Amino acid sequence: MNSTLSGLVSAVWRSTRVLLALLVVLGLFYPAAVWVAGRAFAHNADGSMMSLDGRTVGSSLIAQDTSKDPALFHPRMSAGNYDGLASGGSNLSPVGEEITAQVAEQRALIARENGVDEAVVPADAVTASSSGLDPHISPEYARIQIERVAKNSGLSRSAVAQLVKKHTQGRTLGFAGEEVVNVNDLNLDLLAAKD
């Protein structure tokens, strides 16, 4: 009986030491490390918010529907209507008739809006991202919008083309993924250039 009690006390003492160690690590060190990382990268930790004229106009990480304004660059389509609560894909079959018709309709619309041939409209212009909130488009999609944006924004074609070039981000680590253009950041600079 005495050895059983001794074993129990020993087990409780070991458990208490583990509990205290985990409390210190998970209750103090880990939150402190996360807080320090958040302060070191404050813009990212706070949601990568964008400001125009001193007011917050959105996050550079979540696409905004600008399809009604011909003076701005348009993002990819959104199956969730650019609503963070309804984000996600359409769940349509990639070979189904419905998605095929939707892509053809969108391709014709984009070609007409931008005054280009349907053959040059890139795939990302006619398809939604997995989340429906991706603010990135291909440089090709941005380039076919330059004429329309220049004409409607009052800026020169070369000024708009320079903004696209400025906002074209290279591949991750130089080899992973594709070049992209963040439409939110591009439109923010475009609005600032118009003022």
Q: pLDDT tens digit string along 52-98? A: 778 877 777 888 888 889 999 999 988 777 777 777 777 778 788 98
SS3 168: strand
Residue 122 has pLDDT above 80, yes or no: yes
Same domain, residue pair 82 and 138 = yes
Same domain, residue pair 143 and 81 = yes
| pLDDT at residue number 91 | 78
CA distance 113 to 17: 68
CA distance 85 to 57: 18
Same domain, residue pair 26 and 75 = no
* Domain span holding position 115: 63-194
Q: What is the domain count for the chain?
A: 2
Residue 90 in domain: yes
Same domain, residue pair 91 and 179 = yes
Residue 53 in domain: no
Q: pLDDT tens digit string along 104-114? A: 999 999 999 99
pLDDT band for position 164 (cuts 50, 70, 90): very high
Higher local confidence (pLDDT), 138 or 77: 138
Q: pLDDT tens digit string along 6-45? A: 888 888 999 999 999 999 999 999 999 998 888 888 766 7
Same domain, residue pair 79 and 139 = yes
Same domain, residue pair 77 and 137 = yes
| pLDDT at residue number 1 | 56
SS (H, E, C) 32-51: HHHHHHHHHCHHHHCCCEEE
Sequence-ordered list of residues with C-beta below 8 angstroms from that of 88, at least 6 positions apart, any chain: 79, 80, 130, 131, 132
DSSP code for 86: G
Same domain, residue pair 122 and 89 = yes
Same domain, residue pair 36 and 118 = no
DSSP code for 11: H
Residue 158 has pLDDT above 60, yes or no: yes
Residue 54 in domain: no
Residue 132 has pLDDT above 90, yes or no: no
Residue 180 has pLDDT above 90, yes or no: yes
Residue 25 in domain: yes
Same domain, residue pair 31 and 100 = no
Amino acid identity for residue 195 in this structure: D
